[in-house]
Structure 1
């Protein structure tokens, strides 16, 4: 079945860091995000093509990881439908005051304990004069600083079990899986899910430690593949640890580069080469364990840390 479209898109994420100043430097000076306000131990940051108040909420904490993932509903009625379904499933936490730029927010969790916030009311960004773009259909001027990522693209969660979390997204949020890995024992090892025409917005990957609620990575999209190649040089010059890439994934065909930001969280730069899901009756693509073991479409073999590193770290 096609997505319900009650969820419009991935809105923003709250990322935790034990190195707040260094992480802020990474996201502003190296990645090219723009600061758009502060609240206590948190800084609001935005990509230049985001129409909302912020794309990333960076919060100082004793450890790394993701606190919350925000999804914008497609209307107030759509939000009410999702709240009713989540409440009935026993996964609702309740209504909270929204963050800066966000209206009333409904907090819930997936089957693994990852926190989600759902909202409808949202403040569209009004740039100050120095960030006013020449074209009125652009949210802000291109900052010309660092990588200059265009948008927050997706979140990849680590989960003790992938299957039940994919069902949470499908049955309670109205998303649909586009690709998955099914292991030899029949378990789903990873699943890519979407809400609209993008090929994926959320990913669940099996956590080898058996832990719950951890993060594999968050990803930012660039305009071109060449931007990722240039970013690799910027990371090298700024002593940012490059984990792997640039290579091309076989699954979803994404051109990618993975790095660790100073707080320890894995960050992906991706260029999905404008791959869209237009078919309303999309046929789920399933990869076998043997096919996945072949590694990337091209580039170097997947390194071990890609399967073992997650945040927060576990013993």
Structure 2
């Protein structure tokens, strides 16, 4: 299996039944920048992502995740990954591509989450008022709200985390860096990566047994202190804080979890992920007993972290 065929997580589409309130949250609270719209969707970007957008916010009758976009490492890598996806019977087909990207191949993971892979992309050209002083920076620091730096990862809920993790590895050339294995041998969660950042896509078993739901999307902040400041900003803006600030044991991420107005969980994280340089990295497996100890400094995981997902499941 060729590794590094996927360069990175490109952008993600988030569905919201409260489009105006959600847009206000991402712009005013998180400090993202609008970069166009199309129909019911608004394109938003963080200040250090180099592409056209980091988030596509789409008005919908319910919450949840739409399409997740992955950028291939080359046109040849795109061709190879499309073949691998089709061999696994998960392909949907080619499109001309959404705003900011070229020819795009649509597919689904084994759980049914929509994904797309592309190579050609539009590099962001900031207008004069957003032009940075440092030419190696995508956009001027907005100095508004949390000022999230980049899109970091997506955590999906799935019927079976291991099946989806295997697809990420075998179909897309990823790698499982860490996982949780229960006492009965069931793998309840897997963290997968494509390059040196320790995780990009995460799968967690959905307690409802439902397909295609979202646990959270995550944005990286510039510093760990920004997470503490984000908690104060959330408090001032009436944003619901689910848990944190604290530190995960798995992946050692400093975190804050909030709900945006549409009901989707959003993580603010730093450091965004550890860097893994070892080409022969072996998966770190956490046991049920180890996870029962809670997060890195002993904080027990809040119950809603295991039960809340989007879209909500009807009784």
Give the structure-1-normalised TM-score. Answer: 0.98
Alpha-carbon shift at residue 163 of structure 1 (Å): 1.0
1:273-314: CA deviation from partner (whole Å, max 9, x where unpaired): 662001011111000111111110116321100000000000
Q: Distance in 2 between matches of 1:235 and 1:273?
A: 20
1:1-315 to structure 2, matched below 5 A, reads 4-272=3-271, 275-298=274-297, 300-315=299-314
- For the 8 Å contact 2:224–2:271, the answer to whether it is kept is no
- For the 8 Å contact 1:158–1:310, the answer to whether it is kept is yes
Q: Distance in 1 between matches of 2:295 and 2:212?
A: 26
Q: Distance in 1 between matches of 2:222 and 2:273?
A: 10
Q: Distance in 2 between matches of 1:298 and 1:185?
A: 26
- For the 8 Å contact 2:253–2:273, the answer to whether it is kept is no
5+ residue gaps in structure 1?
A: none
Of the structure 1 ranges 298-307 and 259-268, higher mean CA displacement relative to structure 2 is found in 298-307
Q: Distance in 2 between matches of 1:240 and 1:143?
A: 20
Q: Distance in 1 between matches of 2:211 and 2:285?
A: 24
- For the 8 Å contact 1:245–1:299, the answer to whether it is kept is no
Per the alignment, in what secondary structure is the counterpart of residue 153 of structure 1? strand
Per the alignment, in what secondary structure is the counterpart of residue 252 of structure 1? helix
1:90-136: CA deviation from partner (whole Å, max 9, x where unpaired): 00000012111100110000110001100000000000000000010
1:72-92: CA deviation from partner (whole Å, max 9, x where unpaired): 000000000000011111000
- The count of corresponding residues between Structure 1 and Structure 2 is 314
Q: Give the aligned CA root-mean-square deviation in angstroms.
A: 1.0
1:21-74: CA deviation from partner (whole Å, max 9, x where unpaired): 000000000000000000000000000001000000000000000011000000
Provide runs of 4+ in structure 1 moved above 4 Å.
none
Alpha-carbon shift at residue 185 of structure 1 (Å): 1.2
Per the alignment, in what secondary structure is the counterpart of residue 223 of structure 1? coil
5+ residue gaps in structure 2?
A: none
Q: Distance in 2 between matches of 1:273 and 1:172?
A: 25
Per the alignment, in what secondary structure is the counterpart of residue 276 of structure 2? coil
Q: Distance in 2 between matches of 1:290 and 1:296?
A: 12
